[in-house]
Amino acid sequence: MSNSRSSAIRNAPDRVREADQPRSPFIVFEADRPLKLDAGVELAPFQIAYQTYGTLNAARSNAVLLCHALTGDQHVANIHPVTGKPGWWESMVGPGRPIDTDRYFIICPNVIGGCMGSSGPSSTNPATGHPWGLDFPVITIRDMVRAQAMLLDHLGVDQLFSIAGGSMGGMQVLQWCTTYPDRVFSALPLATATRHSAQNIAFHEVGRQAVMADPEWRQGRYIFEGTEPRRGLAVARMGAHITYLSDAALHRKFGRRFQDRSNPTFSFEADFEVENYLRHQGSTFVERFDANSYLYLTRAMDYFDLAADYDGVVAKAFKGTSTRFCVISFTSDWLFPTSDSRAIVHALNAGGARVSFAEIETDKGHDAFLLDEPELLAIVRGFLESAGRARGLTTAQD
């Protein structure tokens, strides 16, 4: 972005305002509080949408930040306003759940670059009055975390009792613990890594190319031109969804069963149940997600490399940290395999951190961190209760 364009997007009134949308509360940071991006530009005004659950105690010591994954959003424990489905982590978050809304004050923001109320490529560029499209600056995981820190400052939360997230959310957890180590008492990075692998970058590039090959993408200007790259985004989602599961999970769910028939049609219709399932995943995804946001968020994951700022040594990122960690992986996760989590643990150990580690045996693949896995729920509950005792935290009123 040129200096002239950088200046152009900073020409709004100098104030911060908070308001409510039907979908989520949101905060707009105006020109006096720009978001400084790794791309070397400042974004202002910008907006963060978020959800909160529970009550912040008098000591402001019970705040838990939840970081969503690539295609998630802020609706972690409430009915989603677009899909009408339950929140993406209702097995984990709620009254009496491991992340207990009767005990903790939970904050879940929609990431910068997203499409559920936070500033992203589908937002309006104040310099033109039109959707940003590809003029929106490329963002990183660290940019997301900086924006979240600004949100917490606005909400009056100086320190987090805990922070949790899986996959891209886990990347945010790790970034938080290195960028703002004094603000995080405990951390739960789930099914994640300190950097994106070449294989995962390759998967993302296939998805991006599917979107950009759709003639309705229009070089990212589809909103302005009144089109929508539905087919390309659906194909991207179908390909990605395969990586979230495991061979065993797909076989258990579908096998080689035909869809509503006993014989093949000898055509290219969705003969098999698994084909129909993937097509359904693709078609429902495009109803709630923006295609350009998919490009931006996958690219943010690709750029993530925690060691890059520490001479390539991850342990240096955690040196001297006082944060308590619980790292969790899943045996059938081939997108972020257990070896990635073990690398996190080794780096934490080398940095002198307090860390526990669990590998959960399951055939549900990468998405296991989102599912009702009893062992996962028990580990998270136990870790937070132990951290709470160390913190002197008992109830939301403390």
- Tell me the catalytic residues: 167, 333, 366
Tokens for 183? 């603000």
Q: Do residues 168 and 70 touch, judged by C-beta distance below 8 A?
A: yes
Q: Do residues 191 and 338 touch, judged by C-beta distance below 8 A?
A: no
Tokens for 196? 């994106």
* Phi, psi (rounded to 5 degrees) for 230: -65, -45
Reply yes or no: is the peptide bond before residue 126 cis, omega within 30 of 0: no
Q: Do residues 302 and 196 touch, judged by C-beta distance below 8 A?
A: yes
Separation of alpha carbons 345 and 187, rounded Å: 12
Kindly report the CA angle at 348 between 345 and 351, in degrees rounded to 5?
Answer: 150
Q: Do residues 356 and 386 touch, judged by C-beta distance below 8 A?
A: no
Of 77, 141, 71, 144, which Cα lies nearest the Cα of 107? 77
Pairing of strands 25-29, 16-20: antiparallel
Q: What 8-state DSSP symbol labels residue 141?
A: H
Separation of alpha carbons 137 and 6, rounded Å: 10
Of 8, 10, 52, which Cα lies nearest the Cα of 27? 52
Which positions ≥6 away from 116 have C-beta within 8 Å? 23, 24, 49, 73, 74, 75, 82, 110
Tokens for 28? 């707009």
